[in-house]
Amino acid sequence: MRSRADEPFGREFISQAVDLLLANDRDGVSRLYHDLIEKIQNAQLPLEQFARRERVTSKTFSSAQKKRSAAVAQGVAVGDYITVYQKKNGELGLIEGYSGDEDKECLLDKLYKFACRLREAFGDEFDALFPSPGRRVTWAQQAESAGQRKLELF
How far is residue 32 from each of residues 11, 37, 54, measured CA to CA in Å? 13, 9, 27
Is the pLDDT score of 23 beyond 50?
A: yes
Task: Read off the pLDDT of residues 111-121 as tens digits, 9 standing for 90 and up.
Answer: 999 999 999 99
130 domain residue, yes or no: yes
The residue range of the domain holding 88 is 52-97
Same domain, 79 and 64: yes
Same domain, 40 and 110: yes
Q: At how many degrees (to 10) do helices 26-41 and 104-116 cross?
A: 170
The average pLDDT across 47-66 equals 94
- Chain-wide mean pLDDT for the chain? 88
How far is residue 83 from each of residues 52, 73, 75, 87, measured CA to CA in Å? 5, 10, 14, 13
CB of 40 closer than 8 Å to CB of 108: yes
Q: Give, as one character, the DSSP assignment of residue 66.
A: G
Same domain, 39 and 115: yes
Same domain, 108 and 138: yes
Question: What confidence tier does 148 reach under pLDDT thresholds 50, 70, 90?
Answer: very low
Same domain, 115 and 93: no
1 domain residue, yes or no: no
Please tell me whether residue 81 adopts helix, strand or coil conformation: strand
Which is nearest to 51 in space by CA: 113, 3, 94? Answer: 94
Give me the pLDDT at residue 5, please. 72
Is the pLDDT score of 91 beyond 80?
A: yes
CB of 8 closer than 8 Å to CB of 50: yes
CB of 85 closer than 8 Å to CB of 95: yes
Same domain, 108 and 43: yes
Give me the pLDDT at residue 133, please. 82
Same domain, 144 and 123: yes
How far is residue 109 from each of residues 14, 34, 56, 117, 125, measured CA to CA in Å? 15, 13, 26, 13, 19
Domains of the chain: total = 2
